Amino acid sequence: MTYITIGELAKRAGVHLETIRYYERRGLIAEPPRNKAGYRLYTTSDIEHIRWIRQAQGIGFSLEEIRYLMSLRTGKAWPEAELRQHAEEKIKDIENKIKQLEQMKVLLIRTVGQTNESHMSCPVLLTITKGGEAHEQEN
């Protein structure tokens, strides 16, 4: 078996060294064996595993959700009711994010159509500063 260093793994997986260490601490990747000098020794399969985690993060899964998906990926059986519940929760989460993004889009379209002398009268900044109060007052 061919081993690679953490630096080589980070480079080939397209992440920082600290990301790999963080994934280890969170239990997303197993702590690898070490050589006599104490250096971590990874395999090339770790590259794809880290890329898979990053892909899952990229499409919006939290690390806890990724841990759950990893258990499915490795063949752990989950009760159908639990799988359904997780899927329904994720659907609601996605729907809420879409709603928030649509609201942001409307606000940005409205902002683009306005000219302001002061950045503090910008509806986007006011909405963020006042926690949405500015947006509600305009409607």
Q: What is the pLDDT of residues 29-66, one digit of tens each?
A: 998 999 899 988 999 999 999 999 999 999 888 898 89
The residue type found at 72 is L
> In this predicted model, what pLDDT tens digit does every residue of 108-139 receive, in sequence order?
887 777 665 555 566 666 777 766 554 455 44
* CB half-sphere exposure, 103, CA atoms < 13 A: 15
Above 90 in pLDDT, residue 12?
yes
79 burial level (CB within 10 Å; 0-12, 13-18, 19+): exposed
The confidence score (pLDDT) of residue 134 equals: 43
Residue 62 CA to residue 39 CA, distance in Å, equals 29
Above 50 in pLDDT, residue 3?
yes
DSSP single-letter state for residue 15: -
Q: Is the pTM of this model over 0.75?
A: no
The confidence score (pLDDT) of residue 78 equals: 74
Helix 80-112 and helix 63-73, axial crossing angle in degrees, nearest 10 = 140
Which of the listed ranges 10-14, 77-81, 104-108 does the model predict with the highest average pLDDT? 10-14
